[in-house]
């Protein structure tokens, strides 16, 4: 009799568990949720003007020259500056009215002369804190930086590149 009661109790528990499981399944709801992706035009970057510090006379002391994004240049008034002096200019083309993020180098970029180098630092732009492409999908912004001229810098032309990264934001 004890065994029979045990079997009946186990059967009752099993039936209860099955009824709860099937009741849960009966009450379940489903939905077909949607997925979306939009492919947009890749951003196109064009260098419209190079960042050019112009001609600087050599000297026995080092020199720091600052080029603003507006094209203004400052440095030691005792040194001679000549030639083309201009801020860099970058044109961005992409999807109209979209916000973008602009990244310029945050460490020194080395430019190479005949046998010596100079560092360009403190890159900055005039596109503002939240740049965006206009209604035609364009933005043109200017780039400034700081040039560190060493004491007795070797005479010659110094060239290099810096990376401008732009993404949709």
pLDDT of residue 59: 84
- CB count in 10 Å sphere of residue 153: 19
Low-confidence ranges of the chain (pLDDT < 70): 1-25, 77-78, 80
How distant is the alpha carbon of residue 110 from its chain centre? 20
In a domain, 8, yes or no: no
Structural domain count of the chain: 1
User: Residue 16: which H helix or E strand, with range?
Assistant: helix 2-27
Answer whether 29's CB lies under 8 Å from 121's CB: no
Quote the domain boundaries for residue 108. 44-168
In a domain, 24, yes or no: no
Alpha carbons 108 and 122: distance in angstroms, whole number? 8
In a domain, 1, yes or no: no
Alpha carbons 84 and 53: distance in angstroms, whole number? 7
In a domain, 21, yes or no: no
pLDDT of residue 15: 54
Residue corresponding to tokens 């099955």 = 18
Tokens of 8: 């009946």
In a domain, 57, yes or no: yes
pTM of the model: 0.78
CATH number for position 105: 2.60.40
Backbone angles phi and psi of 27, in degrees to 5: -85, -5
């Amino acid at each position: 009799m004890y065994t029979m009661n045990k079997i009946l109790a186990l059967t009752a528990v099993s039936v209860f568990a099955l009824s709860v499981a099937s009741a849960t399944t009966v009450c379940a709801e489903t939905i077909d949720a949607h997925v979306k992706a939009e492919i947009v035009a890749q951003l196109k970057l064009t260098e419209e003007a190079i960042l050019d510090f112009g001609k600087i006379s050599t000297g026995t002391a080092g020199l720091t020259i600052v080029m603003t994004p507006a094209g203004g240049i400052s440095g030691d008034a005792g040194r001679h500056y000549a030639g083309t002096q201009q801020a860099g200019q970058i044109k961005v083309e992409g999807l109209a009215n979209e916000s973008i993020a602009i990244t310029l180098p945050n460490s020194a970029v080395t430019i190479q002369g005949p046998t010596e180098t100079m560092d360009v630092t403190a890159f900055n732009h005039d596109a503002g804190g939240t740049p965006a492409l206009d209604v035609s999908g364009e933005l043109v912004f200017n780039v400034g930086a700081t040039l560190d001229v060493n004491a007795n810098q070797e005479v010659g032309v110094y060239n290099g590149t810096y990376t401008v990264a732009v993404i949709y934001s």
